Structure 1
Amino acid sequence: MSSSRVPATPHNVEQITRIAQDYEYNPAIALKYWLRTANSLVKEAEIYEREGHDEQAYLLLFRHAQLVLVNLVNHPNAKDEPNRQGLVAAEKQVKINIEKLEALKPRINKRYERHRQLMLDRESRKVKSAHSQNDSFQLRNQGLLPDPALSDAAQPLEAGENKELAVKIAQKEINRRATVRRESRQAAISPEEERIRRTGGMWGDWERALGRQDDISHRIQEVRLHIDGPSNGDPLPRQNLATRNANSTYKYPIVPQQRPFNAQTLTVPKSLSQEIDTHPPVRPAKEYIQPKITYEQPPLLPNKITSSAPPVPQKEKPAVAEAPSNQSDLNPSTFTFKPSAYLENGTPLRTVFLPPDLRNHFLALADSNTRRNLETCGILCGTLISNALFVSKLLIPEQESTSDTCETVNETAIFDYCDSEDLMVLGWIHTHPTQTCFMSSRDLHTHCGYQAMLPESIAIVCAPSKDPSWGVFRLTDPPGLKSVLGCKQTGLFHPHAESNIYTDALRPGHVFEAQGLEFETVDLRPGI
């Protein structure tokens, strides 16, 4: 096992809440997309907490509360009947999560204080032992002794160098989660109770503990949710903070009287600014531009705690970990996969591990359509493990196809299935039966909906009759994502002014094919 451990500097709750509030909210985006975003935040927080990443779990749960209670309840579509059930569920989830935030808060602050005190002690010893070459401070500084304040941090790994280990960790964890779901269903636990156990822990009769349903809002207002001002450590600089004095206390948003929920992602801090030389795949000489889909999509929300400076390229040898011989050692909380790529604005992207056999399997399913010159599409679903995203399901939705388009039908069935199986939507795959491998304007607008909900979302294009026959793409950000989100052009075919509106996500990028990574196929098409 590699001894290279470079854990992030701990943050206190005050710093995390500032980061959590740093996201873009646009009320012009349809509420149903924001509700899916909120749902995704809870799912990710649940996994991070289970793996012992308290800071990340706190950030996502706080952001969920902020989004729902401050923004979504005041959304222009909040009173529309189709959204009411979702909003009510979202507020109910916040009430559960507030208890979790209170439980996480002392653990996070304690770790931060331990780290801060260790740094002060180190500085003191450094002064006292300036002429000593063998004291414990120097040994620890060289990585020869463990850092007691950071001993519980996961080992950071390079995704490209540890694909075999990633597959083993994923297989064990995915099987474990499937077993838990199966046992819950066999025990006749309702889907609602299973969701509460999964996302909020078993709190017993929490409504009775908090008082009558009508008094829950009042009870939450009384919960002591103040956070002390910054303690002997500079808070992380942020740009989009709620207006307040730097030394004032902060309270969680107040739960209003009833409103909605059920969703998938947001946007990342703008403070990072690293220029990356990315070039979109070469487009065909006469690009076939497809019709525009009118989307009102949610912006991207940061799902990582990031520093205020651009990432510095690492030149040292990547950390390669030996796969533990004992399956019990494959604990997701033991490892964390480092970001393997960055958006054009410098925001880190978590690694997406992709089964190499998935593409050929999808092409076999699409063969009858391909021979009739009809497009076919599928949804890439998966889960978050050790700070990486693993594609584990290929979902074929009900769809309507032409030679140039493919539209999903009955979106509700897709998201109901993902919720029941505790899956995240990680992107999509589709065919170009006769065209080359590129992202048409229609494809760009379609993918915008995925990437707006999750920054790491990918689009796989299969062009079996052309060379290259496939590619894995994402929108650039900037300018691609915001350009497509803001595109108001009408008509079936239209160009976009930017030349670098999308780029390859596989070579180089944040996507890695991992040999041996298993996946299942679920076909929702009627009669199949």
Structure 2
Amino acid sequence: MATTATYMSLDRPLSVKEISDRALQYDYLPQLPFNRWYRAAEVVYREATHYLRDGNTPQAFMMFSRFCDLVMYKLSKHSELSIPEYRSQYRNLVKRVHTAIELMGPLRAEIEAVYNRWEARMKAQRQSQPPLKSTIRVVDPALSWSHAAPDRILDAKENQDIALEMANRERLRRRNATKTAPSRSSRMLSEDELQRRNMEAVRYQLDRSYKKPDTDDQLRSTNYSYPSIKQSAPLSYGSSRPSSSPSRPLPPRPPKQPAEQYRPPSVEPPPRPRKELDAETFIPQRSQSPIPPPKEALEPRPELTGRYTFRPDKYLENGKPLRSIFLPKTLRGRFLRLAEPNTKRGLEMCGLLCGINLNNALFITHLLIPDQECTENTCDTKNEADIWEFCETEDVMQFGWIHTHPTQTCFLSSRDMHTQASYQAMLSESIAIVCAPRYEPSWGIFRLTDPPGLSGMLDCRKTDPFHPHDIPSDQLYVDALRPAGHVHEADLSLDVCDLRGKK
């Protein structure tokens, strides 16, 4: 259903108007509960901040614009806004609108400057030579900033090692930031100030000047153990040998060093180095070629130093791009172990898939088990305030959900599709994982088609767990796992948080 208006020359950046128009292209249904739209607004805002941190100016501007429109022009008229709890949540969203507007000012100026430079270049080319037929592609604001550096647009499948290393670095940065972060109470009181401070730090990185060497160097040194030369000698295997044998007159015999250690028994201080050298006796076979492994590990790093992004992995039925999702291989096994008590009793159980948006790719890093009510055919989350608090604390977004079918086969029921629609309405890449341990296939990863599945679920008013639709069932949802879909299973670490029974 993509029209010719959705195509452009390969090197053309998007204008502010084009990005603003795309920001308004989302489906809003006022009949959906306010808490679902509150969740959607949270996702949009976090997406914007993550894109801003990556330096993806057009996409950050688009998501901030969408957030402002959703809060100020849509949710302000929601019928459930009279409920005190929802009114309080709406006030929090309005505060973030003010922060978003402040951040959009410099973003707009940057987008206009890039577009004006492109326009001037095209004008000069038209005067000097006739225009050439250029390659066309679907417009994606996430790739618009790379118009002058197409080599910085990477394929997620071909560069999976780079993607995982990038995700590990980001997780390490966040953990280090959490250690130095203020207490929860003080952070919640000054949320806007902290958000603004965080965005200012990001802006520093976008100005092509690495004026934060302490954080960058800290990431590199903590993420890789081998370059830690400036630390104590016992930690660096390469430097421990010369440090323990400077007084030896026979340094040209490094392999016989273990035998030389028996010469100075009179020296009492070396018991500690002797233990470390004993451990090193197992390393010579491995460390005979210590140089190649570091070189192999360092090879992908040059790509990580510049400004780049991952191209869309797949496309929706309407032609809109889908970002790659990296899913930990251990997620299903860990979730099924937690769900085993419910599975034995024939009760469903659900978990939320949370993670980070980094360089136009999504990484699932957390499995959140919310407080929930479970039956044979349903599982409904409770205490959603705890979920929002968790996402805020860990600075993660919800990318979908996972649940069990203890007595049924692997498929999306009518109720499941309605739940999936609430996720996918604002985040097209959202996925639903179904685990059916008693049947084959025992699991599946799905997304609604768009169209007709998503629009069909949003328009449907039926509430029974199993009810028919006017759309054929085989057209409502599709497999989201590669190679058919946009989800990659990868060796990605996973954190699990269980909120059940916690006050």
TM-score (norm 1): 0.67
Match of 1:82 among 81, 85, 93: 85
Deviations 1:92-130 (A, max 9, x none): 2222222211112221111111112222223334359x9
Q: 1:515 to 1:75 in 2, by over 3 A?
A: closer
SS in 1 for 2:446: strand
* Map 1:376-415 → 2, pairs under 5 A: 376-415=349-388
Q: Which residue of 1 aligns with 2:113?
A: 110
Deviations 1:150-202 (A, max 9, x none): 55677112222222221111111121122223312379952343554336747
Distance 2:109 2:25 in 1: 23
Q: Which residue of 2 aligns with 1:40?
A: 43
Distance 1:332 1:479 in 2: 41
Q: 1:417 to 1:456 in 2, by over 3 A?
A: same
Q: Which residue of 2 aligns with 1:503?
A: 478
Q: Which residue of 1 aligns with 2:215?
A: none
Question: What value does the CA root-mean-square deviation take over the aligned residues?
Answer: 3.1
Match of 2:55 among 49, 52, 55: 52
SS in 1 for 2:373: strand
Deviations 1:290-349 (A, max 9, x none): xxxxxxxxxxxxxxxxxxxxxxxxxxxxxxxx9871786464863311111111111111
Distance 1:78 1:370 in 2: 38
Deviations 1:263-300 (A, max 9, x none): xxxxxxxxxxxxxxxxxxxxxxxxxxxxxxxxxxxxxx
2:479 is equivalent to residue 517 of structure 1: no
2:74 is equivalent to residue 71 of structure 1: yes
- What displacement does 1:88 show? 1.7
- What displacement does 1:359 show? 0.8
CA contact (8 A) 1:164 1:515 kept: no
Task: Tell which deviates more after alignment, 116-125 or 54-63.
Answer: 116-125
2:165 is equivalent to residue 168 of structure 1: yes
Distance 2:306 2:179 in 1: 23
- What displacement does 1:504 show? 0.6
Match of 2:195 among 195, 198, 202: 198
Q: Which amino acid aligns with 1:469?
A: S
Match of 1:357 among 314, 330, 337: 330
Task: Tell which deviates more after alignment, 383-392 or 44-53.
Answer: 44-53
Distance 1:166 1:74 in 2: 41
- What displacement does 1:434 show? 2.9
Whose radius of gyration is greater, 1 or 2? Answer: 2
Unaligned runs of 5+ in 1: 1-5, 131-137, 139-147, 205-321
Q: 1:191 to 1:492 in 2, by over 3 A?
A: closer
Q: 1:354 to 1:203 in 2, by over 3 A?
A: closer
* Map 1:43-442 → 2, pairs under 5 A: 43-126=46-129, 150-151=147-148, 155-185=152-182, 190-194=187-191, 196-198=193-195, 201=198, 325=298, 329=302, 331=304, 334-442=307-415
Distance 1:432 1:448 in 2: 19
Stretches of 4+ moved more than 6 A in 1? none
Distance 1:363 1:39 in 2: 28
CA contact (8 A) 1:352 1:510 kept: no
- What displacement does 1:456 show? 0.9
SS in 2 for 1:518: coil
Q: Which amino acid aligns with 1:515?
A: A
SS in 1 for 2:165: helix
Deviations 1:203-230 (A, max 9, x none): 89xxxxxxxxxxxxxxxxxxxxxxxxxx
Distance 1:446 1:42 in 2: 21
- What displacement does 1:446 show? 2.2
Deviations 1:244-268 (A, max 9, x none): xxxxxxxxxxxxxxxxxxxxxxxxx
Q: Which residue of 2 aligns with 1:477?
A: 450
Distance 1:35 1:154 in 2: 38
Q: 1:7 to 1:38 in 2, by over 3 A?
A: farther
2:25 is equivalent to residue 22 of structure 1: yes
Distance 1:200 1:33 in 2: 29
Distance 1:158 1:484 in 2: 32
Distance 1:424 1:418 in 2: 6
CA contact (8 A) 1:17 1:59 kept: yes
CA contact (8 A) 1:154 1:333 kept: no
TM-score (norm 2): 0.70
CA contact (8 A) 1:196 1:202 kept: no
Q: Percent identity?
A: 40
Distance 1:116 1:383 in 2: 35
Distance 2:344 2:296 in 1: 44
Task: Tell which deviates more after alignment, 358-367 or 445-454.
Answer: 445-454
Q: Which residue of 1 aligns with 2:258?
A: none
Distance 2:105 2:92 in 1: 21
Distance 2:390 2:44 in 1: 18
Task: Tell which deviates more after alignment, 462-471 or 31-40.
Answer: 31-40
2:417 is equivalent to residue 444 of structure 1: yes
Q: 1:199 to 1:323 in 2, by over 3 A?
A: farther
- What displacement does 1:9 show? 2.3
Distance 2:365 2:57 in 1: 25
- What displacement does 1:521 show? 0.6
